[in-house]
Amino acid sequence: MDSAAACEVAGERLVLLAERAAYWAARGTLFVADFHLGKAASFRSAGIPMPSGTTTENVERLGRAVDRTRAEHVVFLGDFLHSPAGRAPRTFERFAAWRDARAGLALTIVRGNHDERAGDPPRDWNIACVEAGKALGPFVLNHEPGAARGGYALAGHIHPAVRLSAQGEPSLRLPCFWFGKRWGVLPAFGAFTGSAEVRPRPGDQVYVIAEEEVLKVG
């Protein structure tokens, strides 16, 4: 698959996409972290100017990832919604239209810290909402990183990035997929989410998203 990279995690093959999602072909499942639907609307409600179109960009990118992989199930690893103020009519109408066009696609939200404040999405979107710790094969579905009992934990929350440098060139901070021995963290999917530099340990697998490519780094 072009602009993607494959890696082995917990004995399973994951395909890491430049769309900032990970695909588990054995279960037809796409993992997405930190969608933050309504973040731009939240800022605008507070009087902070933000460009329009972020929701459209996010749902279109999600659609591309689903179409590329032919996923049957999307799991959001926490922070699907950003805040109560982000529940703007136009934002919700845009996602609802996307959902209506993909009514047969199973969606699951692992509730994260933002979801606790923002609440669950509308019931007619037909999205299963679960607490962190739910098992799916060898994986434990979490929002916050850390080892979990019963399997390999997948999470988001910290919006991981690493800084790369080359002699004579300015350094770059790039979003990344970060897989340790007992837990892994996906990059933030949503626009305007920012990132935090992480310090992988020896033996960890790190894949950066550089423009439209996913590349493994040492």
Q: What is the pLDDT of residues 66-85, one digit of tens each?
A: 999 999 999 999 999 988 77
State what percent of residues in the chain have pLDDT above 90. Answer: 74
Contact 58, 80 (CB under 8 A): no
Q: Which CATH class is domain 4-217?
A: alpha beta
Instruction: Give the mean pLDDT of the chain.
Output: 91
Cβ(168)–Cβ(137) under 8 Å?
Answer: no
Task: Tell me what pLDDT residue 41 has.
Answer: 58
Write the pLDDT tens digit of every residue in 95-109. Answer: 999 999 999 999 999
What is the domain partition of the chain in residue ranges?
A: 4-217
Range 30-53 average pLDDT:
71
Rounded to 10°, the helix 89-101/54-69 angle is 20
- Its pTM stands at 0.92
- pLDDT at position 215 is 96
| DSSP codes, 147-164 | -BTTBEEEE-SS-EEEEE
6 and 205 in contact (C-beta within 8 Å)? no
State the pLDDT at residue 23: 98
Q: What is the pLDDT of residues 142-190, one digit of tens each?
A: 999 999 999 999 999 999 999 997 766 778 899 999 999 999 999 999 8
Structure confidence at residue 79 (pLDDT): 94
Burial of 26 (0-12, 13-18, 19+ CB in 10 A): exposed
